[in-house]
Amino acid sequence: MFGMGDSMTKRLWRALGLRGTLVVFLLLLVGIVGLQNMEPFDIDFLFWDLIQVSKLYFILADFGLGIIAGLLIGWMLMRRPGRSE
């Protein structure tokens, strides 16, 4: 695959594991969707015209905020008192 030996490719995917593989594919998917949405659009809230921004930046910011929110929620759930391990 891509000029690498089969053993190197297998070692790479084995080192990443399932979670790492899913992260790589998710990042590729977000990148592809983002690159297909380069045209600018207006962000309006009620009657305010807030900003004109590229859809790529909006998608990447939304993705980043979602990751941060997920990490914070997971961190708060792990710190809950009385949690049995």
To 10 degrees, what angle do helices 6-35 and 55-78 make? 120
5-54 residue pLDDT tens:
567 777 777 777 888 888 888 888 888 887 887 888 887 778 777 778 88
Closest CA to 67 of 77, 75, 55: 75
DSSP one-letter code for 82 = T
How much is the pTM?
Answer: 0.53
In single-letter form, the type of residue at position 13 comes to W
